Structure 1
Amino acid sequence: MEPLILEMGMGADVHGRDMTKAALRAISDAIRHSSLTVFHAYKHPSEMRVEVTIGVPDPDKLDKQAVAEALPFGTVDVTVVKGGLDDVGMGGAEDITLAVAGVKAWLDTSDHPFTLKG
């Protein structure tokens, strides 16, 4: 498989410190910056492998399955690490949680006329 894309995204939950909500917004931020026409050129976008790394302040509170389901194609592997940011300056429900996402997509490029230069 060849790595074809790496996108970064950031998302926030501004009320409630919900790690999953912030992570889903980070995934959305990452993938909406991309027009991945190369995957459709291969005619098999569902065959790509997607690796997601999410950094949030409290990794145990993240729903990895919900994050995986937010990606439209491929087999998704989600890794959660301690990161992101909790801004507790407002107090209570106004605390803000930030998540950071890295999304990498890989696809088998053999047997296709499109080639990658190495």
Structure 2
Amino acid sequence: MGPMIVEFGLGTSLRRGDYTQAAERAVRAALWRNSINLAEYMGVAKEDMVIEVRIGCVQPDAVEVDVLAAAFPYGQTSFVVEKGGLDVVRPEGTGNPTVMAQAALIVSVDASERPLEAT
């Protein structure tokens, strides 16, 4: 079982400086702007998809992973939150920065038990 699909998303928190919100928006962008129908194609249950979620943002420790996990309707998820993304300081130099986070969803399935189709 190896990676079969990689989906990407970008999320922002424009005013609140909320790293979890930006990361959740990045995850949702990767999920809902793209159609992940790998399970159906491979003949396995959606719940059997293994999804490695990698998040990049300036303050990785500020991301609440349990909030991100709730965004997934199915699949077995794991999370890595690391330094990346971008904080954009406001022109006036005060207040929260605009936070940008990136998400990569690396999707795998174990299709070894899938019966071969007759050709």
Q: How would you bin the TM-score normalised by the shorter chain?
A: 0.7 to 0.9
> Partner residue of 2:95?
92
Q: Distance in 2 between matches of 1:114 and 1:31?
A: 29
Q: Which has the larger Rg?
A: 2
In the superposition, the TM-score normalised over structure 2's length comes to: 0.86
RMSD: 1.7
Runs of 4+ in 1 over 6 A off after TM superposition: none
Deviation track 1:70-115 (CA, whole Å, cap 9, x = no partner) reads 122111101000111111133314x200000110111011132469
User: Which segments of 5 or more consecutive residues in structure 1 lack a partner in the other structure?
Assistant: none
Pair 84,114 (structure 1): closer, same or farther in 2 beyond 3 Å: farther
Number of aligned residue pairs: give it: 114
After superposition, residues 7-86 of structure 1 pair within 5 angstroms as 7-41=7-41, 42-86=43-87
| Identity of matched residues, % | 33
Which stretch of structure 1 is more off in the superposition, 79-88 or 69-78?
A: 69-78
In the superposition, the TM-score normalised over structure 1's length comes to: 0.87
Please give the secondary structure, in 2, of the residue aligned with 1:102: strand
Query: Are the aligned partners of 1:11 and 1:26 in contact in 2 as well (CA < 8 Å)?
Result: yes
User: Which segments of 5 or more consecutive residues in structure 2 lack a partner in the other structure?
Assistant: none
Query: Are the aligned partners of 2:44 and 2:114 in contact in 1 as well (CA < 8 Å)?
Result: no
